[in-house]
Copies of this chain bind each other. A is one copy, B any other.
Amino acid sequence: MSAITGALLIGSRDVAEGPTFRAVDPARGSEIEPAFVEAGPAHVAEAAALAAQAFPIYRATAPEARAAFLDAVAAEIEAIGDALIERASQETGLPAARLQGERARTTGQLRLFASWIRAGGADEPRLDSPLPERKPLPRADLRLRHIGVGPVAVFGASNFPLAFSVAGGDTASALAAGCPVIVKGHPAHPGTSELVGRAIRAAVAKAGLPEGVFSLLTGTSHELGGALVGDPRIAAVGFTGSRAGGLALVAIAAKRPVPIPVYAEMSSINPVFLLPAALESRAEALGTAFVGSLTMGAGQFCTNPGLVIAIEGEGLDRFLASAGTAMAGAPSATMLTPGIAGAYAKGVTALAGAGATEIARGGAEAGPNACRPALFVAEAGAFLSEAALSHEVFGASSLVIRCRDAAEMLAIARAVEGQLTATLHLDAADHKLAAELVPVLEEKAGRILANGWPTGVEVCHAMVHGGPFPATSDPRSTSVGTLAIRRFLRPVCYQDLPEALLPAAVKDGNPLRLPRLVDGTIVPAPASEDGK
């Protein structure tokens, strides 16, 4: 059983000396033992040097070896057992059942990525045959595969202490791509981070990989993150957090002598459009389900429905009445950190100050860092003229926009900033309006969903958890699902290289049994000789 020691994990070395900080139990407002070492720039330099040493060895591993390593990370995380759930719950205020589900998602993600790279999803080989007789010039033998970009810095998020933290989506996709990872652990859950970090380290050691494949640096300073993004050995950055935090890292990366990509997932209010026929037919059920989605986990999801758009009328009145009733019965819930609870309270106050009308609040605050759910309403015209009404309030707060007509609903769709998600509630009679909204929303959001709620992000091949700015700093990708691996890859072409020098992914005979694009046609993976 792993113990929580408070050490930094730099490759295989524990760093137990230095200034320290402690985690806070947000439900009690009290500090938790033990003390954790504050990582600083010297630790960054040490971890980055190890990562740079490890990169050529790690990236050269066969897909099967990397896949087995990802599977092993999943098994090591499961082997921590209940201690992980208990510590995570204490550090975040999230209930055990939620964290058990999040753990399953985290290990499932590692195993899905393992299966995907076994199937060639990282290499994506392409071969173009030589044409020695072509006129006026022959064509050479050209073969392409993808390799990792280099060591990746991953910033753990506070709101998913497992699935978007030390062994979360960014770490899993970078490791799958063949990139060593240095995690900047979120200081809100350092014990959880250490437990998971030790699990990854154990998998590194058992796989015989270089120690620099993984390091965990936890700390509270901005200096730490800046040193990590600025280190010349870091080739890319994955981040999930606030808009201000993400933009700060993007700015640091842009100022480097060698600029690097930052995949920052930042800010989204996830508009939900209630179309007229759907609203008419099931306003009450929508109101109840909406508040359920909004208040789940104290609303601390990147995909929380923070904006609802509907056309005024009797249907909307019924929706608001239903949502208001549900909201009044919604309990307060402990937020992740005192800072987040404070920002939530400020955000709710700012919405009111910007002209939104409060129509319901949840149960009175319970405990030192509780989120009291809040529901506001504003007219479409006010929303279109007051930017403050579209600011994200992280937590269980939402704003219902009352439109006069469909044209105003479309105007809202066109006016919102980039989003992770956009949702339509619709019936068959709404298809005409929906067909006007979908093309607008495609340019605004990474995922468009119908008759559901945006919270809950499936880890699969077709998921997009991304979207135009400010939802992310780079809309060309996703941070969830197997497509996320592409973020940390780059293509390399081999021209006329002797067979002996070619990497296995593009060798004659396809020894890795990967699907390959040959002369523009996909050739599926061949069956293995023993029929597997």
Contact = CB atoms under 8 A, between A and B. Distances in A.
Interface string A476-500: 1110001100010111111111101
A442 B475 CA distance: 27
Given A259-B469, A431-B501, A497-B450, A458 B142 contact: yes
Given A434-B501, A438-B501, A469-B259, A447 B149 contact: no
A492 B461 contact: no
Contact of A517 (B139, B258, B449, B461): B461
Contact of A461 (B128, B250, B435): B128
B476 A149 contact: yes
Given A439-B56, A475-B490, A448 B497 contact: yes
Interface string A286-309: 000000000000000000000000
Interface string A316-349: 0000000000000000000000000000000000
A156 B288 CA distance: 56
B520 A139 contact: no
A450 B127 CA distance: 16
Interface in A36-73: 55-56, 60
A464 B431 contact: no
A340 to B, nearest CB: 26
Interface residues of A, number: 82
Contact of A520 (B115, B428, B442): B115
Nearest to A440: B56
A426 to B, nearest CB: 8
Instruction: Give the interface centre of A140, A438, A452, A489 by most chain B CB atoms within 10 Å.
Output: A140
Contacts of A520: 115-116, 119, 461, 482
Given A462-B493, A493-B464, A259 B473 contact: yes
Contact of A142 (B56, B258, B462, B501): B462
A184 to B, nearest CB: 22
Interface in A122-140: 126-128, 136-137, 139-140
Given A261-B476, A463-B142, A520-B461, A491 B483 contact: yes
A515 interface: yes
Nearest to A142: B462
Contacts of A498: 426, 428, 431, 450
A450 B496 contact: yes
Interface string A419-458: 0000000101001001100110011011111111000101
A126 B461 contact: yes
Contacts of A60: 439
A466 interface: yes
A412 interface: no
A484 to B, nearest CB: 10
Contacts of A259: 250, 254, 469, 473
Contacts of A463: 128, 142, 144, 493
Contacts of A483: 126, 144, 491
A448 to B, nearest CB: 5
9 contacts: A115-B520, A144-B462, A144-B463, A258-B470, A448-B494, A448-B497, A449-B495, A449-B497, A524-B524
